[in-house]
Structure 1
Amino acid sequence: MGDSSSDEENHWVFYRDRPEWKDVEPVPQDDGDVGVVSIRYTDKFKDVYDYFRAVLKSSEKSDRALELTKDAAALNPANYTVWQYRRDILKTLSKDLHEELEYSRCIIEENPKNYQVWHHRRVLVEWLKDASKELYLTELILSQDAKNYHAWQHRQWAIKTFNLFDGELNFVDQLLQDDIRNNSAWNQRYFVINNTTGFTEEVLKQEIEYTLDKIRIAKENESAWNFLRGLLLHDKGGLSKNKMVTEFCEELYASGNRSPFLLALLVDMCDEQVSLGGGDSKYTLERAQELCKVLSTEYDKIRAKYWEHMASVIQKKADGTYEPTAHNSSFSADES
């Protein structure tokens, strides 16, 4: 914690040595009884936070206090109290929030995985009722780390709150062209469709075609398989009645492909048909048992116990002795 740069500390003018702060009595950190390991704060860190605690105690809201919060945030950008107090000062002094947006952008670029900084920016956008810069900012951060959770969370919030869905599927498609296994991008695709057109029959057809094309490129891509299963949960025919999907899966299986994601979907199709009392000779109890066996012994050994359990569950469904509980499918739509 604190600033480890000795050169910067050498040029640092301590608050206790600044004439304009002579009227303030610093408030030292109270760590209580010293434990086994005490925190070694730098002199600069102690100086800044001693004065920050002082202005907090006196509720001073001034330009100098605002500048102090900037120093405090630079030393510990994860400190909630610093950011909250900074917002209080901004409001009290009626500061230019567009300038604060620019400041927050700089801090986010330096600390792209810091929740408090992202939260600060979200509040500013809410105050301004202006999210015009949020897609660009998140795109910039995602170009450095395409799976940054905070950037995705902020982007989804901005898109949904300010109705910025136009062009988002094109953005997602570009991300998937860059990295077909980007689970965050697949999740964003689901988010956009779910909040715009919904999973109509026409949209389902388009998205299933899109996803199958991606699976053809990378047949072991778990993200695409999860997305496909999420789509099928919206198909009124269920998992095993979409001809486009069943033909694709059967052709892939016949070609010798034994991806655990393909086999898992076939197990779910069998499970569905057995639960409904049969009706499709391709998806039977016998096939489910065979698939569960090869998954547990060859293609997905790490989850052998799960596949043994699934075989038992499907057998009980066939026998009519199964008592339903919370059934978690092998790959849920939430993961897509």
Structure 2
Amino acid sequence: MSDYSSDENEITEYLLYRNRKEWKDVTPVKQDDGEEPVVSIDYSEAYEDCYDYFRAVLKNKEISERALELTRSASRFNPANYTVWQYRREILKGLDKDLHEELDVIQEIILKQSKNYQVWHHRKVLIEWLKDPSKEKYLTEKVLAKDAKNYHAWQHRQWVIKTFNLYEGELEYIDTLLSDDIRNNSAWNQRYFVINNTTGFTEEVLSREIDYTLFNIKAVTENESAWNYLRGLLLHDKGGLSKNEKVTEFCEELYKSGNRSPFLLAVLVDMCYEQVNEAGGDSVYTLERAKQLCNDLATKYDTIRAKYWQYMLDTIEKKSKEGNGAESTSH
């Protein structure tokens, strides 16, 4: 009969296990769905045959070349089956197989099943055993070249970089991704990850990153990813959002130019929240300005979140009253 090989577009001749001479000594184990299954899955004949034999060797804890080959077939039918991969690892260890060859096998699978958690987990375990991460950045880059936001590839890349201290050149790689797609939230997240785990957000690094981010925001002001990165940076600034002159001047100039990006307005609202009840009275981030900004967001620029902006205004007003109440008490 015919069935699919590891390449889903390539059909090859496939011989059922029950028709293979080397498997005549094995009694297949049928799947137990109970006496009255609510929904019976209509497996293909080849799938059912393969897993009947897989259950048999698993039951007998067989460690052999044929069992290893069987796990490969089973993984082709269902690459997300945890038990198949776990048993395959047990066989690899039991037979003392060359794990570098297994890396080649799993790389081929990952490049076709890149959104499958189990295949990435299998590779991670192999790397832990080998303590050899030399091919991992290259592999993730191949996957990310096709899907720049692939969660599994980013998760694996971060694990490898952090575990084996492979941060060198990562910021440059991120720059190439952002030059291709400035809205790539995964790349912005990776930038934060790298800095947070290397230099940290020192005054010098913070200044550099703020310049980098403002430059990118100016290029595309509707880029939520860059605005979120800016917020993350300013968590490390003692002055917060509203007292970094470089940021406030940039935002005010952008606003005066007529820009009404909802992300710009949202940052200005947060600046108002920070300063609305601070002493001095010379701040431009007042309750009245918060009212105007929240109203504009709710009615013009971010109407889908109108209730949120009303909530924000209520919160700022409450904060203002609490601040005034505290001042009255102190007098």
For normalisation by structure 2, the TM-score amounts to 0.93
Of 288-297 and 147-156, the range deviating more from structure 2: 288-297
Match for residue 127 of structure 1?
A: 129
Residue-pair matches, total: 320
Output the CA distance in 1 between the equivalents of 2:179 and 2:277.
Answer: 38
Match for residue 188 of structure 1?
A: 190
Q: Of 14, 17, 20, which residue of structure 1 is paired with 2:16?
A: 14
- CA apart distance, 1:33: 3.5
Output the CA distance in 2 between the equivalents of 1:35 and 1:109.
Answer: 36
Match for residue 210 of structure 1?
A: 212
Cα offsets for 1:207-244 (capped at 9, x unmatched): 00000110111010000000011111111111111111
Q: Which amino acid aligns with 2:29?
A: V
Match for residue 35 of structure 2?
A: 33
Partners of 2:277 and 2:323 within 8 A in 1: no
In 2 relative to 1, CA 51–296 (structure 1 residues): closer, same or farther, beyond 3 Å? same
Q: Give the 5 Å matches for 1:264-303.
A: 264-277=266-279, 279-303=281-305
RMSD after superposition: 1.8
- CA apart distance, 1:67: 0.5
Q: Of 224, 229, 232, which residue of structure 2 is paired with 1:222?
A: 224
Q: Percent identity?
A: 70
- CA apart distance, 1:180: 0.3
Output the CA distance in 1 between the equivalents of 2:302 and 2:31.
Answer: 54
Match for residue 71 of structure 1?
A: 73
Q: Of 138, 143, 160, which residue of structure 2 is paired with 1:141?
A: 143
Output the CA distance in 1 between the equivalents of 2:282 and 2:121.
Answer: 52
Q: Which amino acid aligns with 1:237?
A: G
Q: Which amino acid aligns with 1:244?
A: K
Q: Which runs of 5+ in 1 are unaligned?
A: 323-336
Q: What's the secondary structure of 1:110's corresponding residue?
A: coil
Match for residue 328 of structure 1?
A: none
Q: Which amino acid aligns with 2:22?
A: E
Q: Which amino acid aligns with 2:317?
A: Q
Output the CA distance in 1 between the equivalents of 2:107 and 2:92.
Answer: 16
Cα offsets for 1:298-335 (capped at 9, x unmatched): 1111111111011111111111179xxxxxxxxxxxxx
Q: What's the secondary structure of 1:223's corresponding residue?
A: helix
Match for residue 152 of structure 1?
A: 154
Partners of 2:4 and 2:12 within 8 A in 1: no
- CA apart distance, 1:103: 0.4
Q: Which amino acid aligns with 2:311?
A: H
Cα offsets for 1:49-83 (capped at 9, x unmatched): 00000000000011110000000000100000000
For normalisation by structure 1, the TM-score amounts to 0.92
Q: Which amino acid aligns with 2:294?
A: C
Q: Which runs of 5+ in 2 are unaligned?
A: 325-331
Which structure carries more relative contact order (alpha carbon 8 Å, separation 6+)? 1
Q: Give the 5 Å matches for 1:28-107.
A: 28-107=30-109
Q: Which amino acid aligns with 1:169?
A: L
In 2 relative to 1, CA 310–64 (structure 1 residues): closer, same or farther, beyond 3 Å? same
- CA apart distance, 1:285: 1.1
Cα offsets for 1:74-124 (capped at 9, x unmatched): 010000000000000011111100000010000101100000000000000
Of 270-279 and 165-174, the range deviating more from structure 2: 270-279
Match for residue 243 of structure 1?
A: 245
Cα offsets for 1:169-209 (capped at 9, x unmatched): 00000000000000000000010001001111100100000
Output the CA distance in 2 between the equivalents of 1:313 and 1:112.
Answer: 44
In 2 relative to 1, CA 176–139 (structure 1 residues): closer, same or farther, beyond 3 Å? same
Output the CA distance in 2 between the equivalents of 1:230 and 1:275.
Answer: 24
Output the CA distance in 2 between the equivalents of 1:16 and 1:321.
Answer: 80
Match for residue 327 of structure 1?
A: none
Q: What's the secondary structure of 1:180's corresponding residue?
A: coil
Match for residue 202 of structure 2?
A: 200
Q: Which amino acid aligns with 1:75?
A: F
Partners of 1:24 and 1:51 within 8 A in 2: yes
Match for residue 319 of structure 1?
A: 321
In 2 relative to 1, CA 228–123 (structure 1 residues): closer, same or farther, beyond 3 Å? same
